[in-house]
Amino acid sequence: MRVADDEDPRAGDGSYDATARIVDAGGTDDDTTVEAALRPRRLDEFPGQPKVRDQLGLVLEAARRRGAAPDHVLLSGPPGLGKTTLAMIVAAELEQPIRVTSGPAIQHAGDLASVLSSLSEGEVLFLDEIHRMSRPAEEMLYLAMEDFRVDVVVGKGPGATAIPLELPPFTVVGATTRAGLLPAPLRDRFGFTGHLDFYEVADLERILARSARLLGVTADDDALAEIALRSRGTPRIANRLLRRVRDWAQVHGTGQVDVNAAQAALALFDVDEAGLDRLDRAVLDALCRRFGGGPVGLSTLAVAVGEETDTVETVAEPYLVRQGYIVRSPRGRIATPAAWQHLGLTPPAGEQVGLPFVDGPDTGRLG
Ligand SMILES: Nc1ncnc2c1ncn2[C@@H]1O[C@H](COP(=O)(O)OP(=O)(O)OP(=O)(O)O)[C@@H](O)[C@H]1O
Ligand SMILES: [Mg+2]
């Protein structure tokens, strides 16, 4: 088995700390540890997202040559595409320590002030879920990002005074699944914004091959291709499916990740040929069967599938929209003919005139 020691992130130099990870929407603690172990550590080990990688690479290299902190970096995109991974990589490439915190952890401006005032020169401050920071903290951040200064308020009431505190230059890396929710003044203070998009299947195959190596399992290319196809363009999902296929192979198979193991395990875990999982299908099912194909409001839809609005909007919808199963309209979400077909149903004729026609059997043609 080829396990390259030099590629094992667990043998790291401590430049990032897996336990410092604050939020993980999808996983248990165990999952978080495994995820951290599978993160690429440097930009040139990071497959996919060629645009963001090249742009970020340039920004970091230029800063390194100037010997100065780079512009602040904002990373946006759906969950599991590598925002946290890239934040860690920014610090590693700059050879700087990284401080990890998140919007929800900073409820008071004072929380932010104490983090900011303890930063060392050049340090990377990773603000995950930056769209969830409180307004006063946000305003403090504007000043800190632009002028490297915070105003510390001493005392209360009419006698209160603001004492300006100079900060050493540092780099904020903000991550958000909801760039649209960031107030413009905050967005504008990031000199570089990278928008992560879903991965190509070929990139997912490369990610899976690397992960298999790190996990110490032998995997056929065909099996990795099968897993990649069903991973909804998302490395986190790809890695998770790989681990379940490995489990299946170890318990029921030959121990080797082959196509048979991949198909059996993915069937067991309810990931269908289109890569839709239980939540995706639940959303389509509610939309078509309960609401006649829509339009239906997002929150109503979320209640119908028993999930948070945010989960439906950021986890399920982007992929369903991208694959042409759902259309977002001002009046709510609408199922396309492809959604009905995926569920084995016939789309109702007449009501959905004007929908874009989606490739598929002719039952979908409306008019
Ligand atoms: N380009 C990539 N190459 C290899 N692995 C990747 C890549 N992008 C992400 N991963 C893996 O996917 C998992 C999730 O990535 P990460 O935590 O960076 O996503 P995220 O965008 O921060 O998600 P969230 O919005 O939920 O915080 C990690 O295990 C990471 O190793
Ligand atoms: Mg993250």
Q: Give the catalytic positions in this structure.
A: 83-84, 128, 177, 236
Residue with CA at minimum distance from ligand 1 atom 30: 39
The model carries a pTM of 0.80
Q: What is the pLDDT of residue 34?
A: 77
Cα 234 to averaged position of ligand 1 atoms, centre (Å) = 8
Residue with CA at minimum distance from ligand 1 atom 7: 82
**Torsion angle of C-alpha atoms 230, 233, 239, 240, degrees rounded to 10:** -60
Residue with CA at minimum distance from ligand 1 atom 9: 82
Strand blocks (E) in the chain: 73-76, 98-102, 124-128, 149-154, 161-166, 171-176, 192-195, 326-329, 332-335
CA-45 nearest atom, ligand 1:
3
Cα 80 to averaged position of ligand 1 atoms, centre (Å) = 5
Q: Which two tokens stand for residue 123?
A: 């340090």
d(CA 298, CA 172): 32
Q: Which residues of the chain have pLDDT under 70?
A: 1-32, 350-367
Question: In this structure, are residues 320 and 329 in contact, taking their beta carbons and an 8 Å threshold?
Answer: no
Q: What is the pLDDT of residue 351?
A: 53
Binding site per annotation, positions for ATP? 38-39, 80, 83-85, 146-148, 189, 199, 236
Name beta bridge partners: 98. 124
CA-49 nearest atom, ligand 1:
1
d(CA 86, CA 235): 13
Pocket of ligand 1 (CB under 6 A): 25, 35, 38-40, 46-48, 79-85, 175, 177, 207, 235-236, 239
Question: In this structure, are residues 55 and 190 in contact, taking their beta carbons and an 8 Å threshold?
Answer: no
CA-closest candidate to residue 241, choices 254, 253, 223, 214: 223
Interface predicted TM-score (ipTM):
0.98
Measure CA 187 to chain center.
Answer: 18
Phi, psi (degrees; rounded to nearest 5) at 75: -115, 125
d(CA 201, CA 195): 18
**Which of 86, 198, 214, 236 for a ligand 1 pocket mutation test, highest count of atoms within 8 Å of Cβ?**
236
CA-closest candidate to residue 152, choices 124, 112, 207: 112
Cα 220 to averaged position of ligand 1 atoms, centre (Å) = 23
How far lies 278's CA from each of 45, 244, 307, 351, in Å? 32, 16, 12, 27
Residue with CA at minimum distance from ligand 1 atom 8: 82
Residue with CA at minimum distance from ligand 1 atom 27: 79
Q: What is the pLDDT of residue 31?
A: 58
Question: In this structure, are residues 50 and 152 in contact, taking their beta carbons and an 8 Å threshold?
Answer: no
d(CA 261, CA 226): 10
d(CA 353, CA 355): 6
Cα 214 to averaged position of ligand 1 atoms, centre (Å) = 15
How far lies 211's CA from each of 35, 97, 203, 207, 257, in Å? 10, 25, 12, 6, 12
Tens-place pLDDT, residues 161-171: 888 899 999 99
Question: Which residues fall inside 5 Å of ion ligand 2, going by CB?
Answer: 83-84
Strand bridging mode 73-76 / 171-176: parallel
CA-closest candidate to residue 139, choices 192, 186, 175: 186
Domains of the chain, CATH where assigned: 5-195 (3.40.50.300), 201-268 (1.10.8.60), 278-364 (1.10.10.10)
What one-character-per-residue DSSP string does 193-256 give?
A: EEE--PPPHHHHHHHHHHHHHHHT--B-HHHHHHHHHTSTT-HHHHHHHHHHHHHHHHHHS-SS
Cα 258 to averaged position of ligand 2 atoms, centre (Å) = 30
Ligand at minimal distance from the CA of 76 is 1
